[in-house]
Amino acid sequence: MRLLDRYEEVVGHQEVERLRRLAERLAGKRIVHVNSTRTGGGVAEILGWMVPLMTELGIDARWEVINGPPEFYRVTKAFHNALQGLPVSLRKSDFDLHYEVNRENASRLNLEADIVFVHDPQPIYLPEFTPPDQVGRWIWRCHIDASRPDRGVWKYLETAMSRYRAAIFSLAAFARPMGVPMFLIMPAIDPLSEKNCAMPEAERLETLARFGIDPDRPLLLQVSRFDRFKDPLGVIEAYHLLKPYYPTMQLALVGGPADDDPEGAEVLREVQDRAGGDADLRVLLLPPDSHRAINALQRSATIVLQKSLKEGFGLTVTEALWKGKPVVGGACGGITQQVHDYHTGFLVHSPAGAAYRVHYLLRYADKRQRMGQLGHDFVLQHFLLTRNLRDYLAMLLCLDHPEAGTLVV
């Protein structure tokens, strides 16, 4: 069975047929995606399903990964923080290192294609080291909230945009004027992946037993990188506020290492120190391929939190909603597009606010169930991979035929 045939059972025949009709006009086009890691984070997960599906649709799609020394990832993590508005201290040598790593990768990677999607700041200078007549093939895909960036870092990154044909952001609120056509494409999840597919009850219970989690007691869960912008310490504070009222409550903070995030180990230590010896508080560092374990944990959660202070889109929220769980999330980034008060969960601004909303949801099981169903239906309509892929294909057709106006599919 072809990959797309499997998705018909979820999204319907018409949606899959629409993809095939769009792709017919792009048959044979060579497309390369470039990012900074094959494991860890939402971008790698998206490319893991997007590239095979593009290939099945008759597009010659490939995935390349930029590599550099550990210091390079320290610099690009600072870029990530700076784009989200955090003040950073970078030297000229840091910018020079980023530039030189891009130069080295431009000669190493196979970038021969009609279109190259460059994901986030790490590979943004690749076009600088290719012939000038290839300007039209580069598209920058920014998965980060760049609405209020550090000015010095933004000036450096913006300089690279003269070689790009277009830019993509997840939300209008994330974008900045860049002198090229800009598109908005919200991310999405794969409903049939190991992280999101249905699973046997026995496997779910076995996973909980392996992590020492009681399936008969309330479980709060946050799944995310160990990153200060995800505010894991704020989640622990909310848990401590609730614990006297719900002594049987459990909390699991679950994350995994990412090749391009050198700060993760330091944040993990801070979280472990704050957790102390609480037997009901699990801090789990899982391997990047622990998709089924995360699936089981999300399906077992009473309530899912994503108390981010800054967020790109927040696919862990999408995953939780797909599994019928109400989400208490930070009022930032793409979380605000998914979590709607009293419908799919609650938006909060503080640990105390998170505790208050969790308390409400724990008291009213019927409201939890209703919100969970609304969340699942909302993701089905808006945040599955077929819609995301359709947006990419439509954008490519618009760039190829700007004179055509509105595209009817």
Amino acid at 236: I
Domain count, the chain: 2
| 3 state DSSP class of 401 | coil
Confidence of residue 258 (pLDDT cuts 50, 70, 90): low
- For residue 196, tell me if it sits in a domain: no
User: Could you tell me if residue 110 is inside a domain?
Assistant: yes
| Residue pointed to by tokens 């190493």 | 108
**Which amino acid does the sequence have at 296?**
A
More confident residue, 91 or 409: 91
pLDDT band at 408 (very low <50, low <70, confident <90, very high): very low
Domain check: are 233 and 378 in the same one? yes
pLDDT reading at 8 higher than 80:
yes
The whole-angstrom separation of Cα 194 and Cα 192 is 7
Tokens of 256: 């995994």
| DSSP 8-state code for residue 199 | -
In a domain, residue 318? The reply is yes
- Judged against a pLDDT cut of 90, whether residue 131 lies above it is answered with no
Cα separation, 303 vs 328, whole angstroms: 7
Confidence class for position 259, pLDDT limits 50, 70, 90: low
- pLDDT at residue 185 above 50? yes
Domain span at residue 217 reads 201-382
84 and 211 part of one domain:
no
- Co-location of 236 and 378 in the same domain: yes
In percent, how much of the chain has pLDDT > 70? Answer: 96
Nearest 5°: phi and psi at 169?
-125, 160
What is the DSSP code (8-state) at residue 126?
Answer: G
pLDDT in tens, 288-334: 889 999 999 999 999 999 999 999 899 999 999 999 999 999 999 99
- Cα–Cα separations (whole angstroms), residue 336 to 30, 171, 307: 35, 11, 12
- Does position 406 have pLDDT exceeding 50, yes or no? no
pLDDT at residue 265 in the model: 86
* C-alpha to C-alpha distance for 340 and 212, rounded to whole angstroms: 32
pLDDT digits (tens, 9 = 90+) for 214-249: 999 999 999 999 999 999 999 999 999 999 999 999
Q: Is residue 34 part of a domain?
A: yes
Q: Are both 79 and 129 inside the same structural domain?
A: yes
pTM listed for this prediction = 0.89
Q: Is residue 409 part of a domain?
A: no
pLDDT for the residue numbered 176:
87
Task: Tell me, yes or no, whether 95 and 133 share the same domain.
Answer: yes
In a domain, 105, yes or no: yes
For residue 193, tell me if it sits in a domain.
no
Indicate the pairing of strand 115-119 with strand 182-184: unpaired
In this structure, the answer to whether residues 364 and 395 fall within a common structural domain is no
Q: Are strands 250-255 and 219-223 parallel, antiparallel or unpaired?
A: parallel
- How would you label 63-100 residue by residue, b for 16+ Cβ within 10 Å and e otherwise? bbbbbbeeebbebbbbbbbbbbeeebebeeebbebbee
C-alpha torsion sign, points 188, 382, 252, 200: negative
| pLDDT band, residue 134 (cuts 50/70/90) | low
Tell me the C-alpha distance between 324 and 321, whole Å.
5
Model pLDDT, residue 135: 62
Contact between 82 and 149 under an 8 Å Cβ cutoff? The reply is yes
Q: Is 60 a domain residue?
A: yes
Mean pLDDT over 280-287 rounds to 95
> 172-196 burial, b if ≥16 CB within 10 A, otherwise e?
eebbeebeeebbebbbbbbbbbebb
What is the sign of the dihedral through the CA atoms of 353, 359, 362 and 364? negative
Amino acid at site 395: M
- Runs of H (alpha helix) within 243-309: 264-275, 291-300
Q: Quick one: what percent of the chain has pLDDT higher than 90?
A: 85
pLDDT score recorded for residue 260:
59
Same-domain check for residues 270 and 328: yes
Residue 124: both structure tokens together: 């943004």
Q: What is the pLDDT of residue 407?
A: 41
Location of structure tokens 């598109």: 183
Same domain, 208 and 138: no
Predicted pLDDT at 42: 84
Residues whose CB is less than 8 angstroms from the CB of residue 408 and which lie 6 or more positions away in sequence, other chains included: none
User: Are 258 and 309 contained in the same domain?
Assistant: yes
Q: Which residues contact 155 (CB under 8 A, 6 or more apart)?
A: none
Average pLDDT, integer, range 385-391? 96
Supply the CATH number for residue 10's domain. Answer: 3.40.50.2000
In this predicted structure, the answer to whether residue 41 has a pLDDT above a threshold of 90 is no
Are 217 and 91 members of one domain?
A: no
Q: Provide the pLDDT for residue 409.
A: 39
Helices (H) and strands (E) counted in the chain, each on its own, are: 15, 12
Are 163 and 205 part of one and the same domain? no
Collapsing DSSP to helix, strand or coil, 376 comes out as: helix
Instruction: Give yes or no: residues 292 and 357 share one domain.
Output: yes
End-to-end CA distance of the chain: 25
Tell me: pLDDT of 192 over 70: yes
Per-residue confidence (pLDDT) for residue 326, from 0 to 100:
98
- What's the mean pLDDT when you consider all of the chain? 93
